Amino acid sequence: MSGNTFGKLFTVSTFGESHGIAIGGVVDGCPPGLELDESDLQGDLDRRKPGTSKYTTARREDDEVKILSGVFEGKTTGTSIGLLINNKDQRSQDYSKIKDSFRPGHADYTYQQKFGFRDYRGGGRSSARETAIRVAAGGIAKKYLKQLHGIEINGYISQLGPIVMDKVDHTVTNTNPLFCPDETKLDELDQYMRALKKEGNSIGAKVSVSATNVPVGLGEPVFDRLDAEIAHAMMGINAVKGVEIGDGFQVVNQKGTEHRDEMSPDGFHTNHAGGVLGGISSGQEILVHMALKPTSSISISGQSVDIHGKPDDVITKGRHDPCVGIRAVPIAEAMLALVLMDHLLRHRAQNTGVESITPVIPAQK
């Protein structure tokens, strides 16, 4: 099975399954000398881990990451950083009754057809459990980006089902288990989620993530456009079905006079492009939105087939998120950090010493 590695200079390779002994990964390309220990990574893992609130799966995992290599006397050595997280709360018996059935909306059918064999316990390799290692790796990138360049990355739920957040206050986002940036919506969200769980159903969500203080010049103008690689990173997150950069699909209704981000020596007037022009960062805030589908693991019966192609009705029991978008927030932050880290190193490798006669235009007028 290929496709387990992400990045070019700053790379992350992951391994492990949802109900295996452990999940792990290897981070290559991290510059030497970065002060690093497990506590730098654990904060984001705690935000992503299951069992932290009544709105997420009841599976209990500590998600305590161990750094196995690549760090000596508290600093990165420039060699491969090995990461490991043990699985502790697997309940494989929850899947025994549906091991010969395909859960509608899941990867069960496609995995069976591709490999002729599958790990039915929690989705195996296709489980979102794997993303814990991405979050740990993203923690390394986030620390480097912030410490050396002042880059700040913030994610939040911008819409959950029919409820749209009217304002974004990053100081509010991490004070509630829904990653909601609008405190006026918390009661409404709570009532909605309670009703949803009682119904035994699930709902989709829109997750947004931004990066500020990004330098001008990251990215490439053709295949490896910064926005293209961000979209690739976000589409690689479980349940993501759509990605927008900046205004995204709203541009369909915009005229050129409205959409173009005019500029003056004092700064950019707007940021409809989401911080990327021609595949290269403009120095403005990078803004990304993604749509996540409702999980198909619900307690309401759905029509499907079994491994022999016969009709079957499937009810998925066990512990599942009624809205997978909630725990996707730190994952989206991590993936954006991995892309920016990779392109920062690529820019340094090719363009060190390059000088432009044009002064840097402020991100905002």
Interval 204-263: pLDDT, tens: 999 999 999 999 999 999 999 999 999 999 999 999 999 999 999 999 999 999 999 999
Mean predicted confidence (pLDDT) in 297-311? 85
Listed residue (148, 152, 158, 116) closest to 363, CA to CA: 152
pLDDT band at 25 (very low <50, low <70, confident <90, very high): very high
Which two tokens mark 365?
């007028």
Average pLDDT rounded to a whole number, residues 341-359: 96
Tell me: pLDDT of 185 over 80.
Answer: yes
The pLDDT value given to residue 322: 86
pLDDT at 150: 97
- Following DSSP, what letter does each residue of 84-109 receive, concatenated? EEE-----GGGGGGGTTBPPTTSSHH
For the chain, the average pLDDT equals: 91
DSSP 8-state secondary structure symbol assigned to residue 350: H
Q: Is the pLDDT of residue 268 over 90?
A: yes
For the segment 133-142, the average pLDDT, to the nearest whole number, is: 97
Over residues 2-6, mean pLDDT: 91
pLDDT at 88: 81
In this predicted structure, the answer to whether residue 319 has a pLDDT above a threshold of 60 is no
22 CB-near residues (< 8 Å, 6+ apart): 16, 84, 85, 86, 87
Interval 334-338 mean pLDDT: 98
Among 104-113, 167-176, 275-284, the minimum mean pLDDT is found in 104-113
Cα 193 from Cα 160, distance rounded (Å):
9
Angle between helices 39-48 and 328-351 (to 10 degrees): 140
pLDDT at 78 over 70: yes
Distance from C-alpha of 48 to C-alpha of 137, rounded to nearest angstrom: 13
